Amino acid sequence: MNTRNTVPALLLGVGVLLGFAALGFLFGNAVEKFKSYERTVTVKGLAEREVPADIVIWPIQFTAASNDLPSLYQNIAASSARIERFLNDQGIDPDEVTVSLPAITDKLAQQYGGQRAEFRYSALQTVTVYSDQVDKVREAMQKLADLGKEGIAFSQGNYQGQIEYIYTGLNDIKPEMVEQATLEARLVAQKFAEDSDSVLGKIKRASQGQFSIRDRDKNNPHIKKVRVVSTVEYYLSD
C-alpha cells in the first residue's frame, strides 16, 4: 500500500466529514431560528369616534289641490315664497335653498270609474335646504309647524322627504384613528405574548379596514359614529 497517498486521502475524508457536520449544525440552527421567526399572532384593533354632522339636507315638501290649474300654480308659488321667507328669517342663506318644479297630478286623467275626486288637480312641491349650518337648520325645523297655521299642508313620511345628515371631515381624523386602532391592536398582542410567555416582535403585516360612518342612533341622526378596524400580525419569540 502506498502510504504517501493514503494519509492525504484520509485527511481529506476527515475534512469533508467535519465540513458536513458543521454545515448540518449551521443548517439546523438556521431552521430553528426560521421557525421561531415564523411564530406570529394576528390581532385586531378598533377605533371609534362620535362626530357631529357638518352638512344637512332638508327637503320641505307640501301639497296643494284645486280644480283650477292656474290657481293651483299660483297657490304653490305663494307657499314656496312664504317658506323661503321663513328660512331667511331663521338665518339660512338664500343660496342654500332651492325650489324644484312641482309634481302635478290630474286625477281626472287617472280616473277609471268610481267616485269622482273633490279636486281634479293635486301638486307636490319641494323646497330643499342644503346647508353646513346644521344647528341653525335644526332650530328652524322646530319652528316650521308655525307655517301650517297659515294653511300650508306639509307632507311627511315619504322617502323623498327624509332629512339627511352628512359628515365630510373623515380625512381630518383618519390618521389619528388609524394610530389609535394600531395601538389597540398592539396592546392586545402584548397581552397575548405575556400570557403565552413570549416576547412580542415586529409587525409582519398589517391591513386597515374600511371606515364606516353611521348614525349614532335613530333618534340622533345628526351625530355620526365613525369606526375603523385594523388587523395586524406580529412576530413572537421566546
CATH number for the domain spanning 195: value is: 3.30.110.170
pLDDT tens digit sequence for 166-200: 999 999 999 999 999 999 999 999 999 999 899 99
pLDDT higher than threshold 50 for residue 49: yes
> Are residue 84 and residue 151 in the same domain, yes or no?
yes
Domain shared by 121 and 131, yes or no: yes
CA distance 119 to 135: 39
Structure confidence at residue 25 (pLDDT):
47
The last residue of a domain, from among 166, 192, 220 = 166
> What's the full length of the chain, in residues?
238
pLDDT for 155 equals 87
| 10 and 84 assigned to the same domain | no
pLDDT tens per residue across span 50-90: 999 999 999 999 999 999 999 999 999 999 999 999 999 99
Q: Are residues 145 and 199 in the same domain?
A: no
Which CATH number covers residue 106?
Answer: 3.30.70
Model confidence, pTM: 0.76
Instruction: Look at residues 166, 189, 211 and tell me which one is the last residue of a structural domain.
Output: 166
Q: Which residue has the higher pLDDT, 21 or 144?
A: 144
Residues 211 and 178 in one domain: yes
> Quick one: 145 and 214 in the same domain?
no
Last residue of a domain, one of 147, 166, 185: 166
Give the pLDDT mean for 120-131.
95
Residues 33, 44, single domain; the answer is no
- Cα separation, 214 vs 212, in Å, equals 7
Please tell me the predicted confidence (pLDDT) of residue 39.
Answer: 86
94 and 193 co-located in one domain: no
Q: What was the pLDDT predicted at 27?
A: 40
146 and 208 share a domain? Answer: no
Count up the domains in the chain and report the number.
3
If one compares 26 and 39, the residue with the highest pLDDT of the two is 39
Work out the percent of the chain whose per-residue pLDDT is above 90.
66
pLDDT at 16: 52
How confident is the model over 216-221, as a mean pLDDT?
Answer: 94
Give 80-118 pLDDT, tens digit per residue.
Answer: 999 999 999 999 999 999 999 999 998 887 766 556 778
Residues 68 and 140 placed together within one structural domain of the fold: yes
pLDDT reported for residue 24: 47
**pLDDT in the model for residue 30:** 37
Q: Which residue has the higher pLDDT, 101 or 29?
A: 101
State residue 93's pLDDT score. Answer: 95
> Residue 226 belongs to what domain range?
39-54+167-238
At 5-25, the pLDDT tens digits run: 565 555 555 555 555 454 444
Question: Is 26 in the same domain as 47?
Answer: no
Residues 160 and 220 grouped into a single domain: no
pLDDT, residue 158, reads 75
